Amino acid sequence: MAQMHEVDYRIHGDDMQYVEIELDPDEAAVAEAGGMMFMEDGIQMETIFGDGSQKAGFLGALVGAGKRLLTGESLFMTVFTNRAAAKRTVAFGAPYPGKIIPVHLGEIGGELIAQKDSFLAAARGVSIGIAFQKRLGVGFFGGEGFIMQRLQGDGLAFVHAGGTLLERALAPGELLRVDTGTIVAFQPTVDYDIEYVGRIKSALFGGEGLFFATLHGPGKVWLQSLPLSRLAGRIYAAAPQRGGGREEGSILGGLGGLLDGDND
C-alpha cells in the first residue's frame, strides 16, 4: 500500500470523457504518452522509459519498454508529479467516444487483464505490463489477440473503451457469450474461451463471425458496446469515396448534389 499513490478523481462528459485527477503534493500519476489534456501549474511532466513501476534500474526499464513495444504502445510513458505545496489537477482525455472506467485494483485482487490500448492513466506505482494469451484458439479467434495488458498494483487505474460500458460480476460458473472484440477487461479469475457459433448458416449470415467469446465466472468483466474497430469500419464505409459525397437518403439522389450549394 505504501508505494501506491492514492488519488482523487472526477470524470467529466458523457460520451467523450476526460478524467480529472487531483494530486496531493508529491503524488504522481502515469499515463500513455500523448494522453494529457491539461495540467495545472506546479505539475511537472516527465517522460520515462518503460512504465515507471520497475525498480530494477536500466535493464528493468528496458524489459518494460520492450514489452510495451510488443503491445504496440509507445516506448515511453509520462509521469505527472505534483511539485507544488498544494493540491493540483491534471486531466487526461479519452481518445475516442466511449467511457472511462475507474478501477480500484486493490479491491479486485490487485490485477486486471485488459485489451491492449485501453489503458488511459493510473496512480504511480501501478505496473502496466503485458500478458500473453497462451491458448492458440483464443488468441486467434477470441478477438483480443495474443497480447493483452496486465495492470497490477493496488491503486487506481483508468481504462477507456468505446460506446457504453457494462460492468458485470459473474458468479462462479455463470456463462456470458459475447461478441468477440467487445471485451474490455476482466479479472484474471474469469475463464475466457471461445465457442463456435454452431451452425454454418449462423456463422456466415449471423453477422457475429465464426466464434463467440465465452466468459465464465467467478469475477468481474467489463464490456464495451462499440469497439473502436466497428466504429471505424462504419465511418470508413460511410466516408465519401473517390471524392464523392454520400447523401443522407435524399430523394434527389445524384441530382441533390447539383442543387445544394455549400458543398465544396
Partner 1 sequence: MTPHSALLHDPVTGATRRIRVGWESAGDGALRLSGDGVDRAVPASALSLAAGGWRRDAIVLAWQEDGRTWAVTVDDARLGAELLAALPSRFAADAARLARQARRQRRGQRLALAVVALVVLLPLAAGVTLYLLRDRILDAVTRRLPLTLDARLGELARRQVAGSGQLIQEGPAVEAVRRIGARLVAQAPAQPFEFRFELLRDRAVNAFAAPGGLVVVHAGLLAEARSADELAGVLAHEVTHVLERHSLRQLLFELGLTTSARLLLGLPDGVADAVASAAVNLGALRFSRDQERAADRGGVELLARARLPATGLESFFERLARREGTIPAMVSTHPPSAERAAALRRLIEERGAWPVEPFPVDWEAVRQHASRA
| β partners of residue 8 | 22
Task: Give the per-residue contact string, 216-255, with partner 1 (x = CB under 8 A; - = no).
Answer: xxxxx-----------------------------------
Taking the least distance from each CB to partner 1, the nearer of 25 and 137 is 137
Binding flag, residue 186, partner 1 (CB under 8 A): yes
Taking the least distance from each CB to partner 1, the nearer of 122 and 170 is 170
In the region spanning residues 80 to 139, those forming contacts with partner 1, defined by CB under 8 A, are: 107-111, 113, 133-136, 139
Binding flag, residue 171, partner 1 (CB under 8 A): yes
Burial classification of residue 217, based on how many CB atoms lie within 10 Å of its CB (0-12 exposed, 13-18 middle, 19 or more buried): buried
Binding flag, residue 190, partner 1 (CB under 8 A): yes
Stretch that binds partner 1, among 9-17, 23-31, 191-199, 242-250 (CB under 8 A): 191-199
Taking the least distance from each CB to partner 1, the nearer of 17 and 187 is 187
Taking the least distance from each CB to partner 1, the nearer of 192 and 212 is 192
Taking the least distance from each CB to partner 1, the nearer of 71 and 89 is 71
- What are the residues binding partner 1 (CB under 8 A)? 107-111, 113, 133-136, 139, 169, 171-173, 186-193, 216-220
